[in-house]
Structure 1
Amino acid sequence: MFDPTAFENMKVVLEGHLYDYDLIGEISIIDRNDIVNTSKLSRQYELTFIESDERLYCQIVLKADLKQLAAELLPVHSNENEAGCKLFLRFVLKHKDDMKLMESTKAVVSNIWGVSRTVNQIIKYNTKDKHEVENEMTVSFNRLIYEDQMDDLLVMVEHMRETLKQLSKVIE
């Protein structure tokens, strides 16, 4: 029997919490990826969900590379402060091509997630439908998330859902 890594434990808790919401019909999980990269010896978990507005979705991304996994599995040879995961939140929405909407949506995400987080915004244009854009905003926490912060991950799900609700109001 093996002892699960912090990555594995956080993945299971997040997945269970989000699937509970899916089971009671408050969200719909639309995609899930559990990736093991054998070339780089890294793990990545992605879970994507929507609320009621199908024009926007949220994706939570949990990553652990060799440095994080080794810090936990080989603590004698590594720094224990590296035994965690990187966490990213991605909010993707489609709306009309309007610069004010782009600025407003980024402001919503920045206000909810705070100034200590980095929000990167990518706007994608479809050459066939020049009136609509895909607006992707990624929230980076700029630090590792540790297993003892598991309860914070559950609270974070509420903020993710609130972000989707606020973004839906902006693009109405």
Structure 2
Amino acid sequence: MFDPTIFDNLKVVFEGALYDLDHDRRLLVSGREDLVDLAAMARQFRMQVRKPDSEVYATLILKSGLIDFAGELRSVRTADELPGCELEIHFQLPAEKAARAVENERHLQEVWGEVASSRHELSTVLMADPASAGKNGLHVAEPTIPGHYRISLRFRSKIDEDNITDVEPLLQHLVATMEFLDEAE
């Protein structure tokens, strides 16, 4: 038997809480990844969710690396940093919702500003299916082909088992933020 790491404990709590929201039909789990990077000796857990009947997706990402594992298991410390996990939340929306980026950022600052920093990105499609291009070569997409609008929240501090009681309120804020982003027109 082994002693689970901070990462393992947090992953189980987040996963269970997100599946509870799925069971209650408040969110729908649409993707799950549990990744191990053997080259960097790092782990990453991702769960993607969306609101029913919505084009707004959120991906919760939990990360931990070798320094955190060594710090936890062997009490190795670097620069007085305690071991833990990094947490990120990415919201993906239709591109047209980027027109409300300033209002979205105000909302994010009210809800998440003390604990996370945000970044807004807009992608566009420049080339539509190059494989289907005719003998005349590649075709540049019309500017009307939408991309997507992505908002990334990166939490300023690592989290650990002391933050397990914060998972439920954090996910309630996630649901409320998704509702705000979906209703914004």
Query: Could you say whether these structures have the same fold, taking a TM-score greater than 0.5 normalized by the shorter chain as the test?
Result: yes
Gaps of 5+ in 1: none
| Residue 158 (structure 2) aligns with | 144
Specify the alignment match of 1:164 in structure 2. Answer: 178
For 1:12-91, what aligned pairs fall within 5 Å after superposition? 12-75=12-75, 77-78=76-77, 81-91=81-91
d(CA) in 1 for partners of 2:143 and 2:10?
A: 41
Give per-residue Cα distances to partners, 1:27-70, cap 9 Å, x unaligned: 11001110010000000000010012431111110000111111
Check 1:47–1:125 CA distance in 2 against 1; reply closer, same or farther (3 A cut).
same
The two structures, once aligned, show a CA RMSD in angstroms of 1.9
Native 8 Å contact 2:48 2:57 kept in 1: yes
Number of residue pairs matched by the alignment: 169
In structure 2, runs of 5+ residues without a counterpart are 127-140
- Which structure is larger by alpha-carbon Rg, 1 or 2? 2
1:119 aligned partner, one-letter code = S
Where do 4+ consecutive residues of structure 1 move more than 6 Å? none
**Structure 1 CA distance, aligned partners of 2:87 and 2:114?**
16
- What residue is the counterpart of 1:2 in the other structure? 2
Q: Distance in 1 between matches of 2:108 and 2:125?
A: 23
Over 3 Å counting, the alpha-carbon distance change for 1:121 and 1:7 in structure 2 is: same
| Contact 1:67/1:82 (<8 A) preserved | no
Map 1:114-133 onto structure 2 (within 5 A).
Answer: 114-127=113-126, 128=141, 130-131=143-144, 132-133=146-147
Listed as ranges, the matches of 1:94-109 within 5 Å are 94-96=94-96, 100-109=99-108
Whose strand proportion is higher, 1 or 2? 1
Task: Tell me by how many angstroms 1:108 deviates.
Answer: 2.5
Identity across aligned pairs (percent)?
26
Paired with 2:143 and 2:102, the residues of 1 have a C-alpha distance of: 18
Q: Distance in 2 between matches of 1:23 and 1:68?
A: 33
| Contact residue 108 and residue 167 of structure 1 kept, 8 A | no
Taking a change above 3 Å as real, the CA distance of residues 13 and 138 of structure 1, as seen in their structure-2 partners, is same
